[in-house]
Amino acid sequence: MFEIKMNDSNEIILSGRFDSSQVVTANSVFEKITQSAVVDFKDLDYISSAGLSVLLVTQKRLNEKNQHLKLINLNKHIHDVFRYAGFDTIFLIE
Amino acid sequence: MKSKFKRDIQSLTDIFNFIEKFANSYQIDGSISFAINLAVDELFTNMVNYHTENPNDILISLTKQVDRIVVTLIDYEVEPYDINKSKEYDTTMPLEDRKPGGIGIHLVKKFVDEIDYTYQERNSKITLVKYLEKHHVRD
């Protein structure tokens, strides 16, 4: 089960499993982002390269306007995925 | 444990449940089961995306041995694709030069310890090995 929603502070909250079957759902939110935003991974259990690609495309689009995503509360396994893909150098992770 | 899964991205939930059941029955460490999940997800997704018209299901089997988990995926009646010969993904590229393609196979190579590929009678078979004791990442 994957869920994506925005809270009152315009933070994007992810939960569940973010795999290739959830790309359309995720894009419905990420494609609407036009300025810097925080993405909270606190309740996200899993991410695959399909999820990374959604974030990459969003980050590239925002970067052209000097905006960016900030990723927070990644669990250890998901942090490893970002590190092994070299994504820890192209995202601000806290 | 083995099972056939419909060639559809929506099968990923059933595959996750299949791996979770296996991991629970053998009390597999969370880091190991995450690695197996990711590797199987990436390879299954590739098989679905590269052969969309193929009507055959994909067979996944999981075996626990003394010091390792052995995973096989068999894709029937397909063209060959040896993931060991895939192009290396450059993890040092700046953001503006990055493209989505190639990340999945790169992650599979990082998360498992051995990858073997065979192609016989138009069937692709990928065998993955994940050691139980070493939680290291391949160079």
Q: With CB atoms and an 8 Å threshold, state whether A86 touches B92.
A: yes
Q: What is the mean pLDDT of residues A61-76?
A: 97
Q: How confident is the model at residue B134 (pLDDT cuts 50, 70, 90)?
A: low
Report yes or no: B3 and B72 within 8 Å, Cβ to Cβ: no
pLDDT at res. B52: 86
Q: CB-CB: which of A21, A53, A60 is closest to B9?
A: A21
Confirm or reject CATH 1.10.1840.10 for domain B2-131, answering yes or no: no
Strand partners of residue A92: A70
Q: CB-CB: which of A60, A84, A89 is closest to B137?
A: A84
- Residue extents of the structural domains in chain B: 2-131
The answer on pLDDT for B136 being more than 90 is no
Best of B45, B95, B108, B109 to disrupt the A interface (most A CBs within 10 Å) is: B95
Q: With CB atoms and an 8 Å threshold, state whether A46 touches B37.
A: yes
Buried-state track B59-76, b at ≥16 Cβ within 10 A, e below 16: bbebebeeebbebbbbbb
Chain A residues in contact with B36 (beta carbon < 8 A): none
d(Cα A56, Cα A62) in Å, to the nearest integer?
A: 10
Report yes or no: A11 and A40 within 8 Å, Cβ to Cβ: yes
Residue of B nearest to A49 (CA): B104
Q: With CB atoms and an 8 Å threshold, state whether A49 touches B107.
A: yes
Report yes or no: A60 and A32 within 8 Å, Cβ to Cβ: no
Name the residue among B87, B68, B83 with its Cα closest to residue B124.
B83
Q: What is the mean pLDDT of residues B6-28?
A: 96
Q: With CB atoms and an 8 Å threshold, state whether B45 touches A50.
A: yes
Going along chain A from its start, the domains and CATH numbers come out as 2-93 (3.30.750.24)
Q: How confident is the model at residue B135 (pLDDT cuts 50, 70, 90)?
A: low
User: Rounded mean pLDDT of chain B?
Assistant: 93
pLDDT at res. B60: 98
Kindly report the pTM of this predicted structure. 0.93
ipTM, interface predicted TM-score of the complex: 0.93
Residue of A nearest to B48 (CA): A20
Q: With CB atoms and an 8 Å threshold, state whether A48 touches B9.
A: no
Strand (E) positions, chain B? 2-5, 58-64, 68-75, 114-120, 123-131
Report yes or no: A52 and A81 within 8 Å, Cβ to Cβ: yes
H or E, element range at A63: helix A49-63
pLDDT at res. A10: 85
